[in-house]
Amino acid sequence: MDNKKTFGMFVLQRRRELGMTQKEFASRLFVTESAVSKWERGLSYPDITLLQNICAVLEVSEHELLSGSEDTRQRDSHRLAERYIKLCRRTRLSQYIFYGGILLICALVNLSTAGRLDWFFIVLFSVLLCASLTLIPNLCVMNSLWEQRAPLLSLAGFTVSLELLLLSCCLYVGGSWFGLAGVAVLFGLSLFCLPFLLRSPLLPEKFCRCKLSIYLAVETVMLLLLLLVCSFYTGGSWFILTACALLFGLGLFFLPVFLRQLPLPQSLASRKFTLYAGLETALLLLLLLVSCIHTGGSWFLLAAAAVLLGLGLVLLPPVLRQLKLPGFWGRNLLLLYFSLESLLLVLVVILSTAAGGGAQAEDYLVNLLVSLIPMSLPWGVMLCLRYLPAIRTLRFSAACGCTALWLWVWPILMDAALAPVYGWHDGINNYTLATPFVNALPWGPWAWYAGLILVFAAAALVLLSLGLSRHFKSE
């Protein structure tokens, strides 16, 4: 009952505030005076279909009518909104007058002094530059669709106006620097403005997960474009070399981001490190090739082989694990690793020998032997540890024995390879250590070397005895 009385008192109060009688109020709603009287006395509610018409006649909202009180907060918000709209209109009008007046005065002065429009275009684009920051956001308020794109439209207008301003200044002074200045401005603006644009809700969903990749890619392209324009202006031929160096350097830091954010096929998603290593190696080889061509040299093949050898020492193990090779090589990745590195070493030796000029067949042979003799140690240890058909202790014993034997024999092999060709067997540079224990006294020059051989030999014997004891116990 109280709700009906509250509703009736509110209708009565609003009717009297508007200066309407019950008869006028009833006639505008197409109901009888008695029905209105019952509403105001709290005896009944109006039909629900009349609510909208009652709100229109009493100039209230539905919330106010149903609650029986004025919604002052909503009225204040409406009033503030109306004031804001009026303020925007006045601001736009004042800007029209201000900017238009500046352009009109400058056009008349330019025509009267020069007889044509020349520096007026500098003023025109300057005014457009200011208007893009002040007038465009105000205009976007007039349309809800434009209002969401106000920052983008304002930035686009600012960029276009700034480029036109630079062009007009360049033409006015008779210069040729617009291309360089225009690209530099675009690069600088994109550095600071692109992150805010990528945070816009208008960005498509498929790009939301790779914003950083988009930013880095755009900035890389802009930087390459800036370098290209600089190359044209300086008349140099350094752009390709600089671009390759830039792509290689930036790829070291940017490629992990790209490979993490960009959607890759399943076959490649599980091999991201292989992709990273392959792409960076390809960029490095391209940089070496361009550098070789730029300097007019012929050292690319040697440098490429040396780079592949060095990088392969570190990168090949994880790359081979990710490739998941089938068949024999898939079960023998360590053997494949050693084989590839040995082939690259042989290639480096051959190319370095050929680069010296005037090399004979014996020079190739000696250099190969000098390179392969040290390689025999890791090969022997690997074969003992990986492929010897025995228990682990015996494998380690064989590896230690192989190391001790190599330490004993390799000076003899080096001496046999070098002495006949270079004549280094002169008593000073003597590689022959077939009996190193002759000078193995505590004060002898080869005491440390003999001690090293003894350590590996003793370790081989100890491990051999342990392995044989375990073998016989298991039987």
User: How high is the pLDDT of residue 166?
Assistant: 93
Residue 162 in any domain: the answer is no
Q: Which domain holds residue 61?
A: 2-70
End-to-end CA distance of the chain: 103
User: How high is the pLDDT of residue 425?
Assistant: 46
Domain count, the chain: 2
Cβ–Cβ under 8 Å, residues 228 and 220: no
User: How high is the pLDDT of residue 452?
Assistant: 84
Domain boundary among 49, 70, 91: 70
Residue 13 in any domain: the answer is yes
Encoded amino acid at 440, one letter: A
Cβ–Cβ under 8 Å, residues 450 and 391: no
Residue 257 in any domain: the answer is no
Radius of gyration of the chain (CA): 44
Q: Exposed, middle or buried by CB within 10 Å (0-12, 13-18, 19+), for 265?
A: exposed
Q: Exposed, middle or buried by CB within 10 Å (0-12, 13-18, 19+), for 433?
A: buried
Residue 79 in any domain: the answer is no
Report the CATH number that the domain containing residue 53 is assigned in CATH: 1.10.260.40
> What does 221-236 look like in DSSP terms, one character per residue?
HHHHHHHHHHHHHHT-
Residue 126 in any domain: the answer is no
Q: What is the C-alpha separation between 215 and 197, in angstroms, rounded? A: 10
Domain boundary among 34, 52, 70: 70
User: How high is the pLDDT of residue 435?
Assistant: 41
Residue 362 in any domain: the answer is no
User: How high is the pLDDT of residue 69?
Assistant: 55
CA 314 to chain centre: 24
Q: What is the C-alpha separation between 271 and 153, in angstroms, rounded? A: 42
Residue 123 in any domain: the answer is no
Closest to 44 (Cα-Cα) out of 34, 56, 58 = 34
Helix ranges restricted to H, 72-119: 72-114
Closest to 226 (Cα-Cα) out of 185, 264, 172, 260 = 185
User: How high is the pLDDT of residue 434?
Assistant: 42
Q: What is the C-alpha separation between 217 and 261, in angstroms, rounded? A: 12
Q: What is the C-alpha separation between 295 and 238, in angstroms, rounded? A: 11
User: How high is the pLDDT of residue 68?
Assistant: 58
User: How high is the pLDDT of residue 42?
Assistant: 74
User: How high is the pLDDT of residue 139?
Assistant: 82
The residues near 409 (Cβ < 8 Å, ≥ 6 apart) are none
Domain boundary among 55, 70, 85: 70
For the chain, the farthest-separated pair of C-alpha atoms sits apart, in whole angstroms, at 136
Q: Dihedral of CA 277/278/280/286: which sign?
A: positive
Rounded average pLDDT per 10-residue block, the chain, 475 residues: 70 78 79 78 78 76 64 60 77 89 92 88 92 85 75 89 93 90 93 85 76 92 94 88 95 92 86 94 96 90 94 93 87 93 93 80 84 91 90 91 88 75 52 42 60 88 85 62
What does the block give as tokens for 273? 């490190």
User: How high is the pLDDT of residue 83?
Assistant: 77
User: How high is the pLDDT of residue 191?
Assistant: 92
User: How high is the pLDDT of residue 272?
Assistant: 92
User: How high is the pLDDT of residue 225?
Assistant: 95
Contacts 24+ apart (CB under 8 A), 249-258: 250/216, 250/220, 251/279, 251/280, 251/283, 252/280, 254/216, 254/220, 255/279, 255/280, 257/212, 257/213, 257/216, 258/213, 258/216, 258/217
Q: What is the C-alpha separation between 351 and 368, in angstroms, rounded? A: 11
The residues near 288 (Cβ < 8 Å, ≥ 6 apart) are 300, 303, 304, 307
Residue 471 in any domain: the answer is yes
